[in-house]
Amino acid sequence: MSDNILHLKDADFDEQVIEAKGVALVDFWAEWCMPCKMLAPAVEAVAQDYAGKAIFAKVEVDEAGETASRFNVMNIPTLIFFKDGKETGRAVGVVSKEEISRRLDALLK
């Protein structure tokens, strides 16, 4: 697990993502979800590549159901991209490291 990925619960989500300035990527996942495990290495690699440029967080949906529900996360894995606390897009299912990077680059411009 990458050092620059926050592990958020319902109680600290707003402070770390919604109230934060800049770009954030939040990975909604679950321990039992095989596609989530397939996506994890791509998210970790991007988190290392973009360290200091964006916030990276994981939300375990079974532990932070309130946050998952608030953002209408119906399927996992779901990546939600934020800029200055506002959702700017999402990707559902397993996506490539290149796709994640492309979307972050667009937000960081």
33 is catalytic: yes
Concatenated DSSP letters of the chain:
--TTEEEE-HHHHIIIIIT--SEEEEEEE-TT-HHHHHHHHHHHHHHHHTBTTBEEEEEETTT-HHHHHHTT--SSSEEEEEETTEEEEEEES---HHHHHHHHHHHH-
67 is catalytic: no
Tokens of 28: 């909604």
Dihedral of the alpha carbons of 51, 56, 60, 64, in degrees to the nearest 10: 140
Which is the catalytic residue, given 8, 33, 64, 80? Answer: 33
Which is the catalytic residue, given 23, 25, 36, 64? Answer: 36
Q: Which amino acids are annotated catalytic?
A: 33, 36
